[in-house]
Amino acid sequence: MVVSLIVAVSSNGVIGRDGGLPWRLSNDLKHFKKLTMGHHLIIGRRTWDEVGKPLPGRTMVVVTRSRRFASEGVRVAHSLEEALDLARDDDEPFIGGGAHIYRMALEKILVDRLYITRVHAEVDGDTFFPDIKFDAWKLVSEEHHEADERNQHSFSFLVYERKR
């Protein structure tokens, strides 16, 4: 199993504002769908509240401390380790946020691969991606895209794999 983390993050580290994305990037949403389709998508309860419904073609796993949380169409875990256990038959489960879940996954060294959409803009926001020590990671692919009528900012798709 390769555990992947997927995130879109601005140049100044912003990943969210007011419970949503602080940009409009159609190509990033398509990229996210293509990568996560057919896999487990592990998210925190606050991110679940933002999404609001199961995403088609994915097994949604919500990580929450609450023993009372339940929602139709999702699996519930009370730790990242439990979430990954629920995804044990998936060759590449994805950790999809939010900030607290990302931080825990990176601190516990649970992630093997990073799919980062680097948004080439400084944007206002209230949710930030944790700092990564990139010396532990190897950039394996990079694809740049310019802003256009469907994509508010220029951005790059970056894929990193943990150095062994």
Rounded mean pLDDT, 148-158: 98
- pLDDT tens figures, 31-66: 999 999 999 999 999 999 999 999 999 999 999 999
**For the whole model, what pTM was predicted?**
0.96
- pLDDT tens figures, 72-129: 999 999 999 999 999 999 999 999 999 999 999 999 999 999 999 999 999 999 999 9
Q: Residue 4: what pLDDT?
A: 98
Rounded mean pLDDT, 8-28: 97
Alpha-carbon span 156 to 65, nearest angstrom = 34
Q: Residue 164: what pLDDT?
A: 84
Alpha-carbon span 67 to 97, nearest angstrom = 20
**Residue 50: which of 121, 98, 117, 115 has the closest Cα?**
98
Q: Please give the C-alpha separations between residue 10 and each of 36, 47, 53, 103, 116, in angstroms, as whole numbers.
A: 21, 18, 25, 17, 10
Q: Residue 123: what pLDDT?
A: 97
Question: Does the pLDDT at position 26 exceed 90?
Answer: yes
How many C-beta atoms lie closer than 10 Å to residue 144's C-beta? 11
Which element (helix H / strand E) includes 61? strand 59-63
Ranges of each domain in the chain = 38-90, 107-164
CATH number of 107-164: 3.40.430.10
Alpha-carbon span 143 to 151, nearest angstrom = 15
The answer to whether 28 touches 146, Cβ cutoff 8 Å, is no
